Amino acid sequence: MDFIARKRNGSRIVTQIVVILLAILFLVPFYFLVGNSFKGYGEILSNSASFPGAFNGDNYTQAWHATNFSYVFMNSLVITVVSNVLLALLCAMCAYKMVRNDNLFNRVLFVAFVAAMVIPFQAIMIPLVQVISGIGLMNTRIGLIVAYLGFGAPLTVFLLHGFVKSVPVDIEEAATVDGSSPNGIFFRVVLPLMQPIIVTVIILNTLWIWNDYLMPSLILHDPQLRTIPIATYMFFGEYTKQWDLALPALVMGITPIVIFFLAMQKYIIEGIAQGSVKG
């Protein structure tokens, strides 16, 4: 017994060491990125593996101004937050009525949502540009948000729909007896119950919308409207291989979403495990 226990302990220590080494390997790219972002151009080229000799913040100031980062960050933030709030709210309302009103239209719509989850963005992007300019929303944040509401609806409704089905009708009937209006029931009784799945939906949509490059690049052309991914892409086009400016721009670009992850870590990891069950 003692021998087995010791062997078990030994294997645990080996596993522990292996997994820590792997974790360090996973983090090495960030070391290269952040470390070199403080170096001068010559220092980056001569040895990118070394620890920076001096922390030079000038790169950051220059990159901040060249990418117009405060603008770009606000654009990404506004687009992500507004799209998320509207997607979660409108899709929750939609999913709720679709479950409770089992009529032909709602059934057809549900099948359409499920089928549309299969459509890759590339299959609709060419005409989407036409449609958006046709309704006069080209080059506006509203146009992009509306596109997110449409393209994000299938998966969002699908996840919420599955959850609403598990909410017992009895609770709503009790609230009706107590004199609640249909709107009151939804907003004061059902919506609060949906909180866990809404957190999941918001996390999945945030990771998608915040990081999305293709859709914004097709709809927003005005430099004033650039999001972080578009600004990064444009910046690389202008400053090819100028790593002393490109690396600080990349560090600035990833910082907000990494902070978001570290702050919401628990919810993100739970939310993904939940969302994938239906995925």
Q: Which of residues 158-217 bind other proteins (CB under 8 A)?
A: 182, 186, 207, 210-214
142 scored as a contact of other proteins (CB under 8 A): no
73 scored as a contact of other proteins (CB under 8 A): no
Contact 76, 252 (CB under 8 A): no
Q: How many DSSP H helices and E strands does the chain contain?
A: 14, 0
Rounded least distance, CB 46 to other proteins, Å: 9
> Applying CB under 8 A, which of residues 84, 159, 201, 229 lies at the interface with other proteins?
229
Which range of residues in 47-55, 62-70, 77-85, 170-178 is near other proteins by CB under 8 A?
47-55
48 scored as a contact of other proteins (CB under 8 A): yes
Contacts of 218 (CB under 8 A, 6+ apart): 125, 128, 129
Using CA atoms, how far apart are residues 109 and 103, in angstroms rounded to an integer?
10
Rounded least distance, CB 258 to other proteins, Å: 7
- Maximum Cα–Cα distance across the chain: 77
> Applying CB under 8 A, which of residues 78, 85, 111, 119 lies at the interface with other proteins?
119
Which range of residues in 51-59, 114-122, 166-174, 191-199 is near other proteins by CB under 8 A?
114-122
Using CA atoms, how far apart are residues 65 and 67, in angstroms rounded to an integer?
6
Rounded least distance, CB 127 to other proteins, Å: 4
- Which CB, 66 or 207, lies closer to other proteins? 207
138 scored as a contact of other proteins (CB under 8 A): no
Contact 232, 161 (CB under 8 A): no
Using CA atoms, how far apart are residues 274 and 165, in angstroms rounded to an integer?
16
Using CA atoms, how far apart are residues 215 and 144, in angstroms rounded to an integer?
8
Using CA atoms, how far apart are residues 243 and 183, in angstroms rounded to an integer?
55
> Applying CB under 8 A, which of residues 127, 184, 196, 223 lies at the interface with other proteins?
127
277 scored as a contact of other proteins (CB under 8 A): yes
Question: How many residues at the interface with other proteins, by CB under 8 A?
Answer: 91
151 scored as a contact of other proteins (CB under 8 A): yes
Q: Which of residues 239-268 bind other proteins (CB under 8 A)?
A: 243, 246-247, 250, 253-254, 257-258, 260-262, 265, 268
- Burial track 130-156 (b if 16+ CB lie within 10 A, e otherwise): eebeeeebbeebebbbbbbbebbbbbb
150 scored as a contact of other proteins (CB under 8 A): yes
Using CA atoms, how far apart are residues 179 and 92, in angstroms rounded to an integer?
23
135 scored as a contact of other proteins (CB under 8 A): yes
- Which CB, 123 or 171, lies closer to other proteins? 123
